[in-house]
Chains A and B, each alone.
Chain A
């Protein structure tokens, strides 16, 4: 198939619901065609070769199919949910150790200080804020952010790759984080 067109959030959520609720293969195909090249590109940045990246991307998309009923659009965007699935698979495949994760059902989990509807609202708002802010980051900040998210590169490796001091890498990441955080603090 050719170029994947852009899907907006509402359309993605509708498709996710059709997959989760109705096991709708056509809806899944649309999601697959949109997300799988992106997931494959993400895998390719860490995998040894193309076939491993392909395999990991297929596994991630199969998990999207199987788990679609667990996706809750009030808790965040589908792209974020798919990112966490892909990330966890990538960790399992490429690194030795497991990744400890918190359990939302944990009875020792300290609840949100506000009720759930508010928390969901805030989470959704903050995700939207992050998106708005991130597009406003400087190109050099976005570059180091992307390298640390996608390339599993420690700061020292990013510094070498870009030919800049490690202090500069750290300060760019810190400034990007500060900016994102400042915008979140305004919201929260």
Chain B
């Protein structure tokens, strides 16, 4: 299986710089778990950070922090070697970063969307995004929508196609205001995605618009 839809440069750069909000970062970290190509690209961005850090030519003319640091080392900092914490072994389709959030949310709990699909909002401490898992039954469409802002969709299981392309496990679709699409799950399997949005979705149909506040999508 090869991932063919990757993270864009700005998102990787901001993730590397540490300026990307938590909601997007969760999707980025989950994609990175599945995508060696983007891990390589991230390493390159991190090395940009390392270069910028090291090329700073500030002088050591401030108070001598080494004295304080030496005291810390003498007081036992040297013995405080961090042990690798034992890891829980996640199974199935959720890579570690996402599995942790699911666990803190009390496990996987689907809520029906009334159109055959189901979702689960994943709580984060980031008020600027909404992070959800979305399950679309095999062969069924996600109701047509455009986006008030940006939407990042990462396939975790199954696959879907829209007017633009086909997306399999690990693939990322990055949609903005200009995209009006009707993703449809492939008929062989339910499609489960991680979806991050920075604004509520805008549905075309009046029914969906009416339902939207009720079902919290």
Contacts and interface: CB of A to CB of B under 8 A. Distances in A.
Given A1-B60, A62-B72, A100-B22, A107 B90 contact: yes
B89 A152 contact: no
B73 A65 contact: yes
A102 B50 contact: no
A103 B87 contact: yes
Interface stretch (B24-32, B146-154, B172-180, B182-190): B24-32
A159 interface: no
Contact of B125 (A75, A91, A97, A112): A97
A97 to B, nearest CB: 3
Given A100-B25, A108-B95, A32 B80 contact: no
A154 B21 CA distance: 11
Contacts of B81: 66, 69
B211 interface: no
Size category of the binding interface on chain A: 35 or more
A79 to B, nearest CB: 4
A114 B101 CA distance: 31
Contacts of B95: 102-103, 106, 108-109
Contact of B94 (A97, A108, A126, A154): A108
A77 B47 contact: yes
Interface string B45-84: 0111111111010111011111011101100011011100
Interface string B95-116: 1111011000000000000000
Contacts of A107: 89-90
A188 B39 CA distance: 13
Interface residues of B, number: 71
B9 A123 contact: no
A40 B48 contact: no
Contacts of B18: 87-88, 90-91, 99, 152
A61 B65 CA distance: 10
A140 to B, nearest CB: 15
A130 B125 contact: no
B66 A148 contact: no
B158 interface: no
A1 B81 CA distance: 28
B124 interface: yes
A109 B170 CA distance: 11
B17 A148 contact: yes
Contact of A66 (B34, B63, B80): B80
29 contacts: A1-B64, A3-B60, A29-B66, A35-B54, A36-B65, A40-B65, A54-B63, A66-B77, A67-B82, A76-B50, A80-B46, A81-B50, A87-B16, A87-B18, A97-B125, A100-B100, A101-B29, A102-B96, A106-B95, A108-B33, A108-B95, A123-B40, A123-B43, A127-B43, A145-B52, A146-B52, A149-B48, A152-B17, A152-B18
Which are the 8 A-B pairs with shortest beta-carbon distances? Answer: A80-B50, A97-B22, A79-B50, A79-B54, A100-B29, A41-B58, A127-B47, A177-B9
Interface of B: 3, 9-10, 13-14, 16-19, 21-22, 25-26, 28-30, 32-36, 39-41, 43-44, 46-54, 56, 58-60, 62-66, 68-70, 72-73, 77-78, 80-82, 87, 89-98, 100-101, 124-126, 170
